[in-house]
Amino acid sequence: MTELRTFIAGLPKVELHVHHVGSASPRIVAELAARHEGRSPVPADPQLLADYFVFRDFAHFVELYLSVVDLVRDPEDVWLLTHEVARELARQQVRYAELTVTPYSHVKRGIPAPAFCEAIEDARRRAAADFGVELRWCFDIPGEAGLPAAEETLRICLDESPDGLISFGLGGPEIGVPRPQFKPYFDRARAVGLHSVPHAGETTGPQTVWDALRELGAERIGHGISAAEDPRLLAHLAERQIPLEVCPTSNVRTRAVARIEEHPLPRLIDAGVLVTINSDDPPMFGTTLNDEYAVAADLLDANPPQVANLARNAVTASFLDEAAKRRITAEIDAYLTTHD
């Protein structure tokens, strides 16, 4: 496994399911907590954050996640967070990432939408120059905040329309947050050319995935692991090659899956579903994208060519243009050749 981990560490990658705030490293979370000391329960000591990020269930995870969101108080915080996320992605040989960003959470805490978008855009451009990693945005609705959040998220998309924005999503809890109610917002987002990438089927059953496909026009599904329970849904996803953004460690840490050994990743792959490997909220879950590839490789008993194929899947499932897809795929192929 040591040799495979070394292979994974150097493998060129694309990351499709990673949250903006959820990617804040312990160092950055601690720095933000120190900046706003006394106004947050988040520890200002990186060593204490591992204990802080122990989740009883998905609802507790959302509660702690929002406590970190509370640390992002001004555009300077936004810029720092975004630039540092890119730095960490580049360390893992990520060439391109589609970050899930929740502007509503920051705007309602007092950061004006234009200033928020200006900060992430400036950090995106600097990251490309500094680290060679290209970032794009999925602006997502925090489902727990309901339809007002959907309306505001769509308004920010339409009014600000930052250059890096490519998709429209839906995150937060699935239980008690039906997907169909968000159809009008996804319809309007898709009408202006944004791709549809809602979360579905992580902590709820296959019907949530069906709803995301039928009601929200989903082109990719965030998580989607409960599809493994529905043979008809598996066949549908496989036939149409609708990608799933799978995050194995996240599913265990939020208690969506009881144990990593029980993760449905092998069943999804065996059914012919186009699966991508992602990290979700890596520091909060004590993982990295490299670690997630190693976890996936272990679950699948995969060799380097098979791991490289997972990396190709992410390129295929991305919203990159065809020339960029060919370029990164060629880089993966060349890297594999040097490790034959």
Residue 334, Cβ neighbours under 10 Å: how many? 10
CATH number of residue 167's parent domain: 3.20.20.140
Please report, rounded to a whole number, the percentage of residues in the chain having pLDDT higher than 90: 78
| DSSP H or E run through 95 | strand 94-101
Domain count, the chain: 1
Cβ atoms 133, 104 nearer than 8 A: no
DSSP string, 230-280: -HHHHHHHHHHT--EEE-HHHHHHTTSSS-GGG-SHHHHHHTT--EEE--B
* pLDDT tens, position by position, 250-294: 999 888 999 999 999 999 999 999 999 999 988 888 899 999 999
Q: In which band, very low, low, confident or very high, does the pLDDT at 38 lie, cut at 50, 70 and 90? A: low
CA distance linking residue 54 with residue 340, whole number of Å: 40
Overall average pLDDT of the 161-180 stretch: 96
Positions marked active-site:
202
* pLDDT tens, position by position, 55-104: 677 777 777 777 777 778 889 989 998 999 999 999 999 999 999 999 99
Report the pLDDT value the prediction gives residue 253, as an integer from 0 to 100: 87
Alpha-carbon distances, residue 254 vs 65, 248, 271 (angstroms): 12, 10, 25
Terminal CA-CA length for the chain: 16
* pLDDT tens, position by position, 105-138: 999 989 999 999 999 999 999 999 999 999 999 9
Q: In which band, very low, low, confident or very high, does the pLDDT at 37 lie, cut at 50, 70 and 90? A: low
The three-class DSSP label of residue 223 is strand
Query: Which letter does DSSP use for residue 160 in this model?
Result: H
The whole domain housing 39 covers 2-337
Query: Which letter does DSSP use for residue 292 in this model?
Result: H
